[in-house]
Structure 1
């Protein structure tokens, strides 16, 4: 891969830069910025810093549309992670990050290092990681490769999270043909920090020392950022671009860094993520308006005879870069040594805004800092509405006829996207640290804040089928659904982080999907007052010319001011009244019912009215705070019948008897938005109905373990709750065995 003996002229004439991911135009731009031909190492440095993965060169114009400020926001996009105030001089730090391409090649390592990388983003801000979540997408579970990818990705997440001692408290998994050759592995981490301990990745103070801490540098992950900015075809071998994680070192590194942040000798700290030493050093210098010089001879190396190019582009894991006051290096190095972590001085901060690397007495790179960061090319891509969009929108709604509703409910509960994900999450340690009060399997996870009555609720959400049909509406729904999940636990939504996963942005139809969905996310964030504080963009998720469905995953955090407001998502006692919040219309586009009956998605996505959504969420939260809600669950994939069954799935042996009106198929399986199922004690009904305006009492929680639905006076479904629960729980294990 590396060839430092190649002349600068050869790089140009033989177009070697193309192999590294630079276009002809970009190489000309590099020459202009340098006012000369770059050498081999410099070309490699430009290629990773100007890759989509590091520079967001096609998505930057779109990301500027997001609302990023709010009364709780202490740090928006631009640092390792965003920071949101939760009162009492405390804040939560969170971000989501994708690790898609590596997880297709090596799902165990790819998903593990995805967790490791996002953990470093969070603790580099000075925060103690208190919760991890994930959002996964795979092809259909009847394919052997999909089973292997799913099994290994879950194993990788579990291995890293469990070893490092951060609880994996929630997440979601969806299965669709669209992801067969492009699985998505998005990891989210939330940390807790005191306001005065928030750190930034800056290299300020001319003459200050640059310190490398953590694992040794090897040849793993070289050009990982470039390979994540390109289309990965199944038959290519990319194993060398996948970095290998070490959770034992990761654990020591967290503990050491959380002690180091209390030293006033520390000036700045950043993790070495995509593009390793190159991105961390150049970004820290750029943010401070300084330069940086690295002497690579001092970099701890795991392999023999590594050259400058390899060291600068390696993405070996568990590494941090720090800037420390000159003369006080020993204080910081001593803290790392105490925790069994290697730390060495490898450079210094310069006044001249230049990025310089030396090795064996020679200069291997000398580049203006701004050329790598601020001056990276930004492209306004052409956008074109796909030919099929209007046709999909124009399709008439047809209500599927002649359904056996009982049979369909049983089928839907066994669909991998709806079925219980217990097989996956029971492999995760969700109780580590002892503060998890609602773990995997709830609408949102809830984690207590030590030493207070407060807790935070966290969720990840995105229904990409709706986005495929209508990216703008689907983008709005993704945010609204995340917010619904937070509200159902009794928490007030605060802010979001987004994991934006799309296909090749140079195709105008794909870019249009990005543009539309980002507009939709923006509108919902404004309506629900949940600013975007951090995120990640993953493009080129396609194979054989087919892009994945647009999948902008929304990670949201909410605040429970008091844990007494914590609300379960299943029915609690016989005799409680069951309410349906919201009207139901015939909306089957992108639904799980459509998937089962037709195996594809067509028609209009469900509508969403953000004013109605916001008003309902506020009323439900008010009712929960007033102490009149016994349980709350939102209605999503599969519609009312599935949500009602999920609300009955607990160990209490309860049943349900409800009566609905209208067409049975619509009432049971439509995916109309902004709907909830709540249960309320009899004595609280009057107070509840005063607060929540769109609520209709539809039935009662019963003692007999039966699931009964009547529609317009006719008995439509009568099932045993335990039997339905068994089908729901055993579907994924059965598919994995088959």
Structure 2
């Protein structure tokens, strides 16, 4: 294990902080409770030239946590492609920014709120949504769309109904009240998430390129302002908790207020849960957008994980400046808060602003108009130190005569900025080769009816309709949603004002990760996550222009987990390079495990796509009778490389090995072909083959039409492959349900078939005419093996009822 730090930083200037009244004595046990290793503590003492104070120990604990410092992942994240012709801002800011033309940019990011959501589902999910919204509007952008990616334990686990209901309610409760449409997402159930669910939240906003704001404390002497909700004791050590695994009894612990907790660093149990207020969040958004418009600010940062500490440190670090803050001036709602508590609180809906000198009164005036608490709490310095002052015994909420006493503040923390940011520990943790997973031949008994197999699969919680979920989200607020949830990707129309005129931009959004495939082969699974997310955007008719990731893994101190992480990063990088789509923002969430049982490695990828025109929009469902159905890409031939990790075999056999082969050159040609066909308006529909395989994808094409449109069936004939001899039920299952990548189903007018086939030949993409749309049934004939036939009404019913066993009717 290697350890890098800023090393010989000289002792801090001025008077070293002394013991503040109420501070705990630094002991080995207290250091251990703060998740600071012995080696890290030695580095802290060396950097400061003295032992840290209790407050400073708390600061190092959160800033050096995995959640804030990425100390175990940074060496690997450097291998991700992050640049491109459209990239305005890559990783390192609050969100990534890409050019969408006409002087405008898309601002987007995805974040995790896994541990809080497992402890308290509603507030954990709600504050996750609130945090990612603030990350986006902090950059000056108005949020225009949200997505989510959710993972829960097995459907029959006792906590799954409670967790699913609570998380969905929390996402809807915050997003609906805030007024941003949730236009898509994904959900998956597996026993490996029994003890640690995943809640990943994505938001995209749009901003004029000349009005992008950054989280930088620039301008020596510029005033620093606190704006938003008052500070309380909620969320203290949330970042540290997010960087720790659960024990068997972690979930469900609570203090006397019934708030679930996971930390006890002082007498009593201190809550690590934040509580969100979406209405306050909306007011904060509008106030910030007004401040941006008036050009009063030099920098702005959301107080997210680690609250005031991380926001102020990161702003100073990016600007290579120092900061001095006076905690006596912080608006607060709890009495007798110590500096430790004020600095580490993660109370929601708070922002830190650096105003232009002389503009602070105007900022305060606007905040007063919006009925927001605001105060000047410090200034930018040239010391490159983070200096915090507070007055012993001072409490602005206490009764007189305390309020009238003269304050005599003292330094409670004085830390070089570098040791908290670029000089924080970086670990290249040990890795060990993963066990080689070979695809083995699977034996299956032939079913009585392949159609019933399809019905059952469409009714799986991992395959069927997510209507129960997205009906609880406001997916049409602001009136810009062009394609609603339930298809390959969400599509939003964004009005962008250009002087007295308005230009409309159309953006597409998709989020994907097949964690089973990542567990079987992290490299291929990571690449498949990128390919599928981009493929879904392409199937909507948009060009992928940028990606954000949320990398959810287990304990990085376990060599096999770090090997999974490293190989997944390489797979993601390979796919990004092949498809020429950069990663511009993201999040790493480690220690997702309970009692040594890690989650499935889940590197979630969200893609943003840009349309040339509204006319390019394509949806996945069949539109009318008589269209010709074509398969673009390679059709599955037999079980080899098709059934491994599939939902069909997981339901039949339990966990299974093997991962499909992904040809990134073919994938690239396929996506470019479909984008070309969409832009030439040759496609009636387009839908990729993913979970559930070819038969499920065809079923979805038949029965996912929105309300008011009729379902359209199809008669499909799969071409013969080799001899019929030696083919068993598993090979037939592979043809119907194998989850092979790089395959897209399209329907076209019969007069356009030859043009589409010729376009495919020109770019060396395999293409087959496999059927025709029409009727009220889906029939699939495998020319070498078997057939299935199902009524569309039964397919739709099975899909719509897929979550009933979990959440009820």
TM-score by length of structure 1 reads 0.97
> Which of 297, 321, 331 is the aligned partner of 1:290?
321
In the TM superposition, what is the alpha-carbon distance from 1:685 to its structure 2 partner? 1.1
Question: CA contact under 8 A between 1:465 and 1:601: conserved in structure 2?
Answer: no
Is residue 701 from structure 1 mapped to residue 732 from structure 2 by the alignment? no
Distance 1:161 1:296 in 2: 32
3-state SS of the aligned residue for 1:493?
A: strand
Tell me the equivalent position of 1:318: 349
Q: How does 1:445-524 map to 2 (within 5 A)?
A: 445-450=490-495, 451-524=502-575
What's the offset of the Cα at 1:234? 4.3
Superposition pairs for residues 15-414 of structure 1, below 5 Å? 15-236=29-250, 237=253, 238-239=260-261, 240-360=271-391, 361-386=409-434, 389-390=435-436, 392-393=437-438, 395-398=439-442, 400-403=444-447, 404-414=449-459
Q: Distance in 2 between matches of 1:83 and 1:68?
A: 11
Offset of 1:733 from its aligned partner? 2.5
- Cα distance in 1 for residues equivalent to 2:711 and 2:311: 55
Question: Structure 1 714/39 Cα, relative in aligned 2: closer, same or farther at 3 Å?
Answer: closer
| CA distance in 1 between partners of 2:216 and 2:679 (Å) | 42
Higher fraction of helix: 1
SS of residue in 1 equivalent to 2:576: helix
User: 1:590 and 2:648 equivalent?
Assistant: no
Query: In 1, distance between residues paired with 2:342 and 2:681?
Result: 59
1:526-552: CA deviation from partner (whole Å, max 9, x where unpaired): 000110000000000001211111100
Determine the structure 1 residue equivalent to 2:604: 553
Q: Deviations over 1:551-601 (max 9, x none)?
A: 000011010110100001100110000111222132111101111111213
Note the alpha carbon deviations across 1:377-399, whole angstroms, 9 max, x for none. 0011001023xx21x22x42336
- Give the superposition deviation at 1:216: 0.5
Q: Hey, what's the Cα distance between the residues in 1 that align with 2:631 and 2:420?
A: 55
Q: Deviations over 1:483-510 (max 9, x none)?
A: 1100000000111000000000010000
1:657 to 704, 707, 715: 715
8 A Cα contact 2:144 2:494, kept in partner: no
CA drift of 1:119 comes to 0.5
Deviations 1:139-190 (A, max 9, x none): 0111230110011000000000000001111100011111111000000000
CA distance in 2, matches of 1:449, 1:265: 26
Runs ≥4 in structure 1, deviation > 6 angstroms? none
Gaps of 5+ in 2: 1-18, 254-259, 262-270, 392-408, 496-501, 722-730
Query: What SS class does the counterpart of residue 241 from structure 1 fall into?
Result: coil
Q: Which residue of 2 is the match for residue 623 of structure 1?
A: 677
Tell me, in whole angstroms, the C-alpha distance in 1 between the residues paired with 2:64 and 2:785.
Answer: 63
Q: Do the aligned partners of 2:160 and 2:806 also contact (CA within 8 Å) in 1?
A: no
Q: Distance in 1 between matches of 2:440 and 2:327?
A: 65
> Which stretch shifts more, 320-329 or 531-540?
320-329
Do the aligned residues in 2 keep the contact of 1:33 with 1:371 (CA within 8 Å)? yes
Is 1:611 the counterpart of 2:665? The answer is: yes
Instruction: Provide the rounded CA distance (Å) in 1 between the counterparts of 2:479 and 2:549.
Output: 27
> Structure 2: how far apart are the matches of 1:123 and 1:596?
43
Q: In the alignment, which residue of structure 2 is the partner of 1:711?
A: 782
State the aligned residue count: 728
SS state at 2:93 partner: coil
Deviation at 1:6, TM superposition (A): 6.5
Deviations 1:405-460 (A, max 9, x none): 11211111011110101001000000011000012111010001213343010111
Tell me the distance in 2 between the aligned counterparts of 1:286 and 1:734: 50
Q: In structure 1, how many angstroms separate the alpha carbons of the residues matched to 2:786 and 2:572? A: 41
- The answer to whether the Cα contact below 8 Å between 1:98 and 1:186 also exists between their aligned partners in 2 is yes
- Deviation of 1:619 after TM superposition, in Å, equals 0.8
Distance between the aligned counterparts of 1:215 and 1:222, measured in 2?
16
Question: Following the alignment from structure 2 to structure 1, what is the Cα–Cα distance between the partners of residues 75 and 158?
Answer: 40
Distance 1:433 1:399, change over 3 A: farther
8 Å CA contact retained: 2:520, 2:659: yes
Give SS of 2:362's match: helix
Does the 8 Å CA contact 1:462/1:552 hold for their aligned counterparts?
yes
Equivalents in 2 of 1:687, 1:645: separation in Å?
A: 26
**Contact 1:277–1:313 (CA<8 Å) still a contact in 2?**
yes
CA separation in 2, counterparts of 1:96 and 1:626? Answer: 32
Cα RMSD (Å) of the superposition? 1.4
**1:11 matches 2:26:** yes
Tell me, yes or no, if the aligned pair for 1:620 and 1:692 is still in contact at 8 Å.
no
Q: 1:544 maps to what in 2? A: 595
Contact 1:659–1:713 (Cα < 8 Å) also in 2? no
Change (3 A) 1:720 1:4: farther
Distance in 1 between residues matched to 2:732 and 2:417, nearest whole Å: 64
Q: Distance in 2 between matches of 1:635 and 1:148?
A: 31
**1:4 Cα deviation from its structure 2 partner:** 5.1
Alpha-carbon deviation of 1:689?
Answer: 1.2
Residue 669 of structure 1 corresponds to which residue in structure 2?
A: 737
Distance 1:275 1:665 in 2: 50
Q: Distance in 2 between matches of 1:621 and 1:289?
A: 44
For 1:38 and 1:443, how far apart are their aligned partners in 2?
Answer: 53
Normalised by the size of structure 2, how large is the TM-score? 0.88
Paired residue secondary structure (2:348)? coil
Distance, in Å, in 1 between the alignment partners of 2:530 and 2:23 is 51
Question: Which secondary structure does the structure 1 equivalent of 2:172 belong to?
Answer: helix
Instruction: Write the mapping of 1:421-460 to structure 2, written as runs, cut at 5 A.
Output: 421-450=466-495, 451-460=502-511
Matching of residue 638 in structure 1 with residue 683 in structure 2 = no
Partners of 1:138 and 1:228 lie apart in 2 by 17
| C-alpha displacement of 1:348 | 0.8
Task: Work out the CA distance in 1 between the residues paired with 2:669 and 2:298.
Answer: 45
Q: Is the Cα–Cα contact under 8 Å of residues 502 and 541 in structure 1 kept in the other structure? A: yes
CA contact (8 A) 1:212 1:344 kept: yes
2:765 matches 1:721: no
Asked if the contact 2:246–2:595 (Cα under 8 Å) also holds between the matched residues in 1, the reply is no
